[in-house]
Structure 1
Amino acid sequence: MDKADFVAAYASKARGTIINQIIFLERVIDEFLSGYFCDNLIKKRELMELHLGDKLPFEVKRNIFSILLKDHYPDFLIKHPKLIKDIISVIEHRNIFAHYLLDTGEEALTILDDEIPKIGFIRYKKNTETIWYTSEKINEIVAQINRCVYAVIELLPEE
């Protein structure tokens, strides 16, 4: 396996991990939202599967979730003051991992030379820049996502 193949494989694994964890967070928020708006299990499932699932972007769900927390769960936000900012942060990382091109340039191919492996994703805006992620940063993001998931689960009724 050459360096470019190694970088691609490492990036695929990192992308899969981040995106899978974010999907789980999104589904937990879907569960909360459907339970908030429906008191009947059948209607709750219908709302979750037919309307929330793939129809609404995660950012829209996050906005609704944030408003509901601020309006109806202020004590929860006192207990988890960073939750909304953490969700915004992990959505931003998710967008990078899902939509940005993997950097396979010279610097990216030094992955095996570094003490801490890193991968880069290319942002095309006014200037082209690479956003670098070390394995430590990826692990921090996964931990941040998990903290968000566990916090939202606290809001779910026990069934």
Structure 2
Amino acid sequence: MSLEVENTCPSIVEQKAREELVGYVHEKAREIRGTYLNYVSVIEAYLYEIITNYFCKDGEFRKELFSERILERMSLEQKKVIMQKIMMKNFPTQWSNRKEVFSKIERVQKIRNKLAHSTVDVSEEALSRPINLGVGFDLYENAKPIDDKTFEEMKADAVKVMIIIQEFGNLIKTLP
């Protein structure tokens, strides 16, 4: 009489394959998160530059002091509000034609925060799904996977925001 013991421990080969898959998922997640955070950093840098130039037309010392003591301490949200007020006051027509950009900034900002503070979904369910279906982040839409198409749409929204902010910056440069 022989007793068969069911082996529930994964084999070394299975463990190695899982580790490689987890590594690949994390690599893809770093690509998504890093790229998106960079896009948002560019948006914030545009706002930073435009606001600084608005309040400090001349004088490098003034710009430096304003940047160091005021803007660096402000959130993206606060910079967005200042930009809105500048546009509403100085360019009401252009503002009313493009004010949707500020709701897009909010959306971009929310996604950025979710990606920045999320952990990557490496649950068994996530690892069993084909990688081309995307990578999940726990705080992004209940770990809904971000596939390549979704990621391209996210980047396109961020680029639209960048372009409109640059347009606003060009208008603001025309002010005396």
TM-score (norm 2): 0.76
- Kindly indicate whether residue 139 of structure 2 is the aligned counterpart of residue 123 of structure 1: yes
> 2:151 maps to what in 1?
138
2:135 is paired with a residue whose SS is strand
- Kindly indicate whether residue 44 of structure 2 is the aligned counterpart of residue 31 of structure 1: no
> 2:71 maps to what in 1?
52
> Post-superposition shift, 1:41?
4.0
Identity of aligned residues (%): 23
Q: Spell out structure 1 runs of 4+ moving beyond 4 A.
A: none
> Post-superposition shift, 1:22?
0.5
Within 5 Å, which residues of 2 pair with 1:142-157? 142-156=155-169, 157=173
TM-score (norm 1): 0.83
> Post-superposition shift, 1:76?
2.0
> 2:108 maps to what in 1?
90
RMSD of aligned Cα (Å) = 2.3
The number of residues matched between the two structures is 152
Question: 2: CA distance between counterparts of 1:132 and 1:74?
Answer: 40
Structure whose residues are more often strand by fraction: 1
Question: 2: CA distance between counterparts of 1:71 and 1:44?
Answer: 22
Check the 8 A contact 1:4/1:109 in 2, yes or no.
yes
Check the 8 A contact 2:115/2:139 in 1, yes or no.
no
More RCO (CA 8 Å, sep 6+)? 1
Larger radius of gyration: 2
Check the 8 A contact 1:77/1:83 in 2, yes or no.
no
